[in-house]
């Protein structure tokens, strides 16, 4: 986009925990159309300068770019091509910017269907929570044709502090995010196992966490999820910043990708089982740090800890 080109009109469908701060951030510089099924979210979006619409189709009509954050490939298909699908409201030359982790094949299939309508797909899965989204501090990896990326760049640069182009085809961004999620899922599971072992050995978990973070065993996930793992045992549990069922989905994507590539992934498979057990135990809507309770449903009390020494 040249300096003299008009700023794109962006439609954001879904104004939830991530969609609203992203829409508000974009509205500070661009014209943004927004839609959500909840009137309260529409009201908040309007206060942030977003033009709100009564349907996804009306929000998408005339937009140059459509920003989507969906749960999975099925929801992606439904939003674009279902009974109330919005793809037909976008004109040729528009781009869909997908920020979710839905898997390589789902993105490639969607890109082919959109291409038949003259619409590009920018595969741009992101990392970072709502606070970072509102400040334009997200980490975004991109797989897209150069001409589609050029159209989406004014949107992406407002949202990302780190924008990495990993390939020229939709699905390339998903591939890198899949690798990323393998590490994240394994690191969370390993942190949970380590802190559960510390408790079983009679160690104070908070002291253990502080010591581990200061040494070679420290990791981002241990430092970030560790305190929330300790809070998971409280009456209210840890604050939900990333639901456990996200890793049920994402580790499933990891396993599918590894099998398709003919690659063994035994550590990822073991971690996936912990998230699946958490789902079966009713922890899906809990923070992913609650996976520690799959390994150790309760903490040992001080007398039990002393007896274990």
Catalytic machinery residues: 177
CB atoms within 10 A of CB 54: 9
Q: Do residues 33 and 10 touch, judged by C-beta distance below 8 A?
A: yes
List the one residue out of 17, 67, 70, 26 whose CA is nearest residue 48: 26
Give the Cα separation of 65 and 86 in Å (integer): 12
Give the Cα separation of 23 and 33 in Å (integer): 8
Angle 19-27/146-159 helices, nearest 10 degrees? 90
| Core vs surface per residue 165-183: b (16+ CB within 10 A) or e | bbbebbbbbbbbbbebbbe
Give the Cα separation of 38 and 107 in Å (integer): 27
Give the Cα separation of 189 and 193 in Å (integer): 6
Token digits for 275?
């998230």
């Amino acid at each position: 986009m040249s300096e003299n080109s008009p700023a794109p009109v962006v439609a954001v469908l879904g104004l939830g925990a991530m969609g609203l701060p992203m829409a508000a951030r974009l509205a500070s510089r661009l014209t943004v159309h927004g839609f959500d099924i909840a009137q309260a979210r529409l009201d908040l979006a309007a206060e942030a300068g977003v033009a709100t619409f009564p349907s996804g189709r009306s929000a998408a009509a005339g937009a140059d770019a459509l920003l989507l954050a969906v749960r999975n490939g099925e929801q992606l298909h439904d939003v674009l091509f279902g009974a109330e699908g919005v793809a037909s409201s976008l004109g040729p030359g528009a781009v869909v910017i997908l920020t979710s982790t839905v898997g390589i094949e789902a993105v490639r299939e969607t890109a082919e269907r959109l291409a038949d309508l003259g619409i590009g797909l920018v595969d741009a899965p992101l990392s970072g929570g709502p606070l970072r989204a509102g400040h334009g501090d997200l980490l975004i990896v991109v797989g897209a044709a150069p001409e589609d990326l050029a159209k989406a760049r004014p949107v992406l640069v407002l949202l990302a502090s780190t924008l990495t182009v990993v390939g020229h085809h939709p699905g390339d961004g998903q591939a890198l995010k899949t690798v990323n999620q393998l590490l994240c899922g394994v690191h969370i599971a390993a942190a949970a196992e380590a802190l559960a072992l510390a408790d079983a050995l009679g160690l104070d978990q908070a002291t253990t966490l502080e010591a581990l973070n200061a040494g070679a065993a420290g990791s981002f996930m241990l430092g970030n999820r560790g305190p929330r793992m300790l809070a998971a045992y409280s009456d209210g549990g840890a604050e939900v910043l990333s639901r456990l069922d996200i890793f049920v989905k994402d580790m499933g994507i990891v396993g599918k990708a590894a099998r398709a590539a003919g690659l063994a992934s035994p550590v990822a498979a073991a971690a996936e089982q912990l998230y699946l057990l958490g789902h079966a135990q009713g922890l899906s809507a809990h923070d992913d740090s609650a996976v520690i309770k799959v390994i150790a449903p309760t903490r040992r009390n001080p007398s039990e800890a002393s007896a274990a020494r």
